[in-house]
């Protein structure tokens, strides 16, 4: 019998809807047979009726509880794991709430506002013997397995450089309006780095840091420049990361990670996808095509002149999801899933085998990435409010 993982969804915004839709896709469509997912509860801080409507739209309202507060969800014993889908500003408080109540957690990226908060969450999860994982969904794509294999089997030699970008413009209508969107707003810990930069940084870590034994990994040094958005968050952020490696692993590796929310920079204007991640080794190169939050195509080039192109579908049958506007290029074909369930499979598999963290991205790696982002913000003079940076709990935000 497959292990049935019972999910509680904390918040009912855009990504919560997308994740929940993908959770309900039959796992056998992606050749997963040992686990299944079910949604047993959802909570909305906007009220129980909002949570109820969310569950109705998914077609699971009859078998799931709807709550008007996150506190009630955290107390629900019919939930095996809670997916936290609030803005970055609230992750620390929300995850603490769940862990204190004895719930396992999958929390959206960016994990927290700063590394100190991530450290406290890790310690709390360990103290309570609970599962905790950052929802960097790209890490769980089959494409990521291919990336790791390609590097580990030596196909492109030793990785010397990674060049990775994610630039998604702010919605022109939103950018021109009086109110600030979540991504533009310092109060929700918005800005390019926490929203988008986390993807290029993760690709750099996957290609350089994650592929060497844990005991010889060292955090990279960081050089960064930030250009601010009018609201005070970062608009464009450019980072150079130098990963120290022993000579038998190719010596230092350089990574260039960039991100931007520059209004009007329509990166898909031409509709001709370009590589947005390039992994350059001594014997070849692996390219991942736009957008780096969901690359659907790769191109592998090796020194003997071979070129291998692959596409990476996310099988449904889902309902398709049009929850982003055209400028985010998030239109899925009818029947295609967005690809968010691979990470749910990882979490459920861990629960079924009593593992307390992801097998693909350790909590230590999430912490080091948060430390890198702290340093980027320090160099770029990007600070959020004292309460958003705080590790005090509970705190009313």
CA distance 249 to 158: 7
| CB of 24 closer than 8 Å to CB of 31 | no
Print the SS3 string covering 107-121: EECCCCCCHHHHHHH
CA distance 20 to 36: 13
* Residue of closest CB approach to ligand NDP: 13
CA distance 341 to 329: 20
Give Cβ neighbours of residue 249 (< 8 Å, ≥ 6 apart): 158, 212, 216
Cβ burial of 262 (10 Å; 0-12, 13-18, 19+) is: middle
- 12 near ligand NDP, rule: CB under 6 A: yes
- The interface partner of residue 360, options being ligand NDP, ligand LJPVP2WV, none and the CB cut-off 5 to 8 Å by kind, is none
Task: Tell me the closest approach of the beta carbon of residue 175 to ligand LJPVP2WV, in angstroms.
Answer: 14
Q: Which of 5, 7, 11, 291 binds ligand NDP (CB under 6 A)?
A: 11
- x-or-dash string of contact with ligand LJPVP2WV, 180-199, rule CB under 6 A: ---------------x----
Task: Tell me the closest approach of the beta carbon of residue 363 to ligand LJPVP2WV, in angstroms.
Answer: 20
Task: Tell me the closest approach of the beta carbon of residue 46 to ligand NDP, in angstroms.
Answer: 4
Tell me the site size for ligand NDP, rule CB under 6 A.
22
Cβ of 200: how many Cβ atoms within 10 Å? 27
- 65 near ligand NDP, rule: CB under 6 A: no
- 68 near ligand NDP, rule: CB under 6 A: no
CA distance 338 to 346: 16
Residues found in the chain: 397
- The interface partner of residue 8, options being ligand NDP, ligand LJPVP2WV, none and the CB cut-off 5 to 8 Å by kind, is none
Name residues contacting ligand NDP, limited to 241-300 (CB under 6 A). Answer: 293
Task: Tell me the closest approach of the beta carbon of residue 154 to ligand NDP, in angstroms.
Answer: 31
Taking 3-state DSSP, the helix, strand and coil percentages for the chain, each rounded to the nearest 5, stand at: 35, 25, 40
Query: What distance lies between CA 263 and its chain's CA centroid?
Result: 22
Q: Which of 50, 268, 299, 328 binds ligand LJPVP2WV (CB under 6 A)?
A: 328
- 195 near ligand NDP, rule: CB under 6 A: yes
Q: Which is nearer to ligand NDP, 92 or 137 (CB)?
A: 137
- The interface partner of residue 105, options being ligand LJPVP2WV, ligand NDP, none and the CB cut-off 5 to 8 Å by kind, is none
| CB of 76 closer than 8 Å to CB of 67 | yes
- 168 near ligand LJPVP2WV, rule: CB under 6 A: yes
Task: Name the site residues for ligand NDP (rule: CB under 6 A).
Answer: 11-16, 44-46, 50, 85-88, 90, 108-109, 137, 182, 188, 195, 293
């Amino acid at each position: 019998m497959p292990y049935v993982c019972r999910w509680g969804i904390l918040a009912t915004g855009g990504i919560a809807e997308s994740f929940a839709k993908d959770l309900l896709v039959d796992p056998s469509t992606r050749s997963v047979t040992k686990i299944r997912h079910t949604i047993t509860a959802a909570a909305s801080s906007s009220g129980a009726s909002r949570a109820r409507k969310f569950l109705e739209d998914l077609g699971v309202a009859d078998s799931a509880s709807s709550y008007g507060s996150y506190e009630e969800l955290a107390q629900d014993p019919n939930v095996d794991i809670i997916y936290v889908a609030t803005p970055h500003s609230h992750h620390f408080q929300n995850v603490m709430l769940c862990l204190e109540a004895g719930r396992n957690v999958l929390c959206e990226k960016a994990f927290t506002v700063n590394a100190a908060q991530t450290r406290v969450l890790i310690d709390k999860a360990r103290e309570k013997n609970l599962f905790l994982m950052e929802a960097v969904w790209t890490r769980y794509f089959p494409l990521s397995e291919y990336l790791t294999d390609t590097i580990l089997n030596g196909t492109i030699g030793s990785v010397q450089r990674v060049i990775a970008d994610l630039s998604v413009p702010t919605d022109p209508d939103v950018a021109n309006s009086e109110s600030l969107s979540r991504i533009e707003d310092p109060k929700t810990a918005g800005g390019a780095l926490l929203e988008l930069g986390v993807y290029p940084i993760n690709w750099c870590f996957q290609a350089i840091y994650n592929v060497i034994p844990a005991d010889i990994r060292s955090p990279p040094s960081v050089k960064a420049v930030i250009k601010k958005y009018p609201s005070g968050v970062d608009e464009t952020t450019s980072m150079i990361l130098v990963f120290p490696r022993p000579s038998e692993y190719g010596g230092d590796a350089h990574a260039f990670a960039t991100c931007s929310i520059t209004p009007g920079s329509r990166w898909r204007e031409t509709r001709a996808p370009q590589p947005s991640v390039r992994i350059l080794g001594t014997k070849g190169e692996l390219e991942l095509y736009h957008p780096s939050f969901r690359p659907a195509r790769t191109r592998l080039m090796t020194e003997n002149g071979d070129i291998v192109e692959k596409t990476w579908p996310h099988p449904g049958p889902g309902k398709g999801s049009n929850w982003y506007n055209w400028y985010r290029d998030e239109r899925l074909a009818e029947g295609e899933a967005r690809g968010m369930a691979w990470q749910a499979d990882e979490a459920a598999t861990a629960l079924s085998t009593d593992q307390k963290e992801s097998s693909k991205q350790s909590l230590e790696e999430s912490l080091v990435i948060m430390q890198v982002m702290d340093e980027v913000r320090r160099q770029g003079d990007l600070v959020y409010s004292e309460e958003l940076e705080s590790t005090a709990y509970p705190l009313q935000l």
